[in-house]
A and B are shown apart, each in its own frame.
Chain A
Amino acid sequence: MNMKAHLVVERPAFRLDVRISAAAGEVVALLGPNGAGKTTALRGLAGLTALNGGRVELDGAEVHHLPPERRGIGVVFQDYLLFPHLSALDNVAFGPRCKGLGKAAARRAAAELLDRVGLAGHAHVRPGRLSGGQAQRVALARALAVRPRLLLLDEPLAALDAHTRLEIRAELRRHLADFDGATILVTHDALDAMVLAHRLVVIENGAVVQTGTPGEIARHPRTDYVARLVGLNLYRGEADGEHVVVGEVRFSSAERLTGPAFVAFPPSAVALYRSRPDGSPRNLWQVVIDGIERHGDHVRVHLRGPIPLLADVTPAAAADLDLTPGQDVWAAVKATETHAYPA
């Protein structure tokens, strides 16, 4: 199975124009902020939203002129959309029935799938009485029941609470690994995308802004949105060998390159000082504290100065430094943790 798509959807104040591909067994995540066009792209693939241009190919055959019921594309919707009047079993058996299977055979196939997602005991329960995690698993089983060539998942974990999410995410990863078709996953959650997908396609304002493996994206973000998602400080500047110049700031970095470049480093690579430190580290500026917030088990400090900056310090260090908003401090970034890459 091989999917290649060029999706163009035009709306009064919005234009989606993205190219997506996925190979058999591959999980591709469409990652992007709300309103970026991820769900529209998914609906375009499934045939639920008409394309204004482009094409959708499955194994080299065009399917974009086919109605959704003839595309062989399975969809797990964000709020699952399990038919409320049918039991879990009949929800899963719905697809096989539509494909012409007899009632008994369809139910047997459905029972097998429910068993696979660990819900054999809930076959006769109506969706209204399933928990969020259970409903998600029934929805997955229902989509897989028609043996789709391409599986689409729209924010499959967004409707779940934090604890269930952890569990279902691991489980979903296992089921996706078992699925031999291609999978496209839409999410605005970086962690979901990183854990579940082999490859990420980042969409902003209806266009693809970055693609790559989770590792590449996490290390080398190319937009502010991606940098925020993966928790890095990101700047765009001009490299001249040893340095990258961003505005009035010169970064020393571990890499050598020339031309337009990005510089990225984690907030934990930033050290803060009350007074100018001795030995003058190379990446050092005077900045002003904008705000302070609790962030996991450390303290995140928002700084402004020649460039905006996020710094993570330990609670102990924050107490020692007696950090308060409006205060002047010195910020130093370790060159070894500063990565530069071509823009």
Chain B
Amino acid sequence: MPWPLLVPALAGLAFLVLPLAGLLVRAPWATLPGRLAEPRVLEALRLSLVTATIATAVCLLLGVPLAWLLARTTLPGRRVLRALVTVPLVLPPVVGGVALLLVLGRRGLIGQWLYDAFGVSLPFTTTGVVVAEAFVAMPFLVIAVEGALRAADQRYEEAAATLGASRWTVFRRVTLPMVAPGVLAGAVLCWARALGEFGATITFAGNFPGRTQTMPLAVYLALETDPDAAIVLSLVLLAVSVIVLAGLRDRWVGAA
């Protein structure tokens, strides 16, 4: 094996694995069970899981049709559209949070109207957390699903059409089942991204325990006051990620 490849490869591997190992080494294993049962931890964990899951559902509901639009139609300006969709992917999440505030804040372009018409105010609420997470995570889903749609053999859709299927039926009964692995992969990426969301959430939804304080926010806060608690929370996040990855490994890694 040529060493110019081997040495950086091993260094890269160590770089990725060592910090996680450090987390395990420094964890306060003796007091772990007690700390895990702390209401603050459980609350943050519950909030994180619930908001990430709802955000993923929202992304699926909006993102799959959006991916279909990008992959299956010949809209003028489709390339610009795709570029716009991917902006949140490269945008610093904090900027995303600021942008959300400007649009959906109580004095925002849409937020003002929402508040006047329905008395709805999104910032600094749990719904706001979902909005922030969905904003940041949706591009992951859209890109994964669009890729799956492009890779899928469109002739199956033609075959369905000759059997009398409308475009909606084709999508529901042929396209969607055939790209299901891609949708699943996208949803997992999306969920993981939503679970780890920090910048947009803290900017748009704030950091209120029980309402908007998700796990990453709790970790950050705990690091200042109680480093051991931060490690415990980080471990939980790590465990959740690993469990999800392991659970979907065959379908996801196998399909990718």
- Chain A interface (Cβ < 8 Å from any Cβ of B): 46-48, 67-71, 73-75, 77, 81, 83-85, 94-95, 98-99, 142-143, 145-146
Contacts and interface: CB of A to CB of B under 8 A. Distances in A.
Contacts of A83: 156, 159-160, 174, 177-178
Interface string B131-173: 0000000000000000000000101101111111110010001
Nearest to B153: A81
20 contacts: A48-B161, A68-B158, A69-B161, A69-B163, A69-B164, A69-B166, A70-B164, A71-B162, A81-B153, A81-B156, A81-B159, A83-B156, A83-B174, A94-B163, A95-B163, A98-B160, A98-B163, A98-B165, A98-B169, A146-B164
Given A83-B174, A94-B160, A143-B162, 4 more contacts: A47-B162, A48-B161, A48-B162, A69-B161
Most B CB contacts (10 A, CB to CB) among A73, A81, A95 go to A81
A69 B171 CA distance: 14
B162 A84 contact: no
A73 B158 CA distance: 12
A67 B156 CA distance: 16
A98 B164 contact: yes
Given A77-B155, A81-B155, A85-B178, A99 B164 contact: yes
Contacts, number: 59
Contacts of A142: 163
A251 B159 CA distance: 52
Interface of B: 153, 155-156, 158-166, 169, 173-174, 177-178, 180
Contacts of B160: 83, 94, 98
A58 to B, nearest CB: 14
Contacts of B174: 83
A94 B173 contact: yes
Contacts of A75: 159, 162
A99 B163 CA distance: 9
Contacts of A146: 163-164
Contacts of B163: 69, 74, 94-95, 98, 142-143, 145-146
Most A CB contacts (10 A, CB to CB) among B153, B155, B162, B177 go to B162
Nearest to B161: A68
Contacts of B155: 77, 81
| 4 nearest A-B pairs in the assembled complex, by CB-CB distance | A95-B163, A98-B164, A68-B161, A81-B159
A48 B178 CA distance: 20
A98 B162 CA distance: 10
A146 B163 CA distance: 7
A143 B165 CA distance: 13
Nearest to B170: A69
B214 to A, nearest CB: 36
A69 B165 contact: yes
Most B CB contacts (10 A, CB to CB) among A75, A83, A143 go to A83
A142 B180 CA distance: 23
Contacts of A70: 164
Contacts of A85: 177-178, 180
Nearest to A92: B163
Nearest to B159: A81
Most A CB contacts (10 A, CB to CB) among B156, B163, B165 go to B163
B73 to A, nearest CB: 15
Contacts of B158: 48, 68, 81
Most A CB contacts (10 A, CB to CB) among B155, B158, B159, B178 go to B159
A149 to B, nearest CB: 12
A84 B165 contact: no
Nearest to A94: B163
A21 B160 CA distance: 25
Contacts of B166: 69, 98
Contact of B159 (A47, A67, A77): A77
B162 A68 contact: yes
A238 B246 CA distance: 80
A13 to B, nearest CB: 22
A68 B177 CA distance: 21
Contacts of B178: 83-85
Nearest to A148: B162
Contacts of B173: 94
A64 B153 CA distance: 25
Contacts of A95: 163-164
A142 B160 CA distance: 10
A257 to B, nearest CB: 47
B164 A67 contact: no
A202 B83 CA distance: 48
Nearest to B163: A95
Contacts of A74: 162-163
B175 to A, nearest CB: 11
A73 to B, nearest CB: 7
Contacts of A69: 161-166
A85 B156 CA distance: 11
A98 B163 CA distance: 7
Contacts of A67: 161
B28 to A, nearest CB: 49
B245 to A, nearest CB: 25
Nearest to B176: A85
Contacts of B177: 83, 85
B239 to A, nearest CB: 33
A46 B159 CA distance: 10
B164 A46 contact: no
A46 B169 contact: no
B233 to A, nearest CB: 41
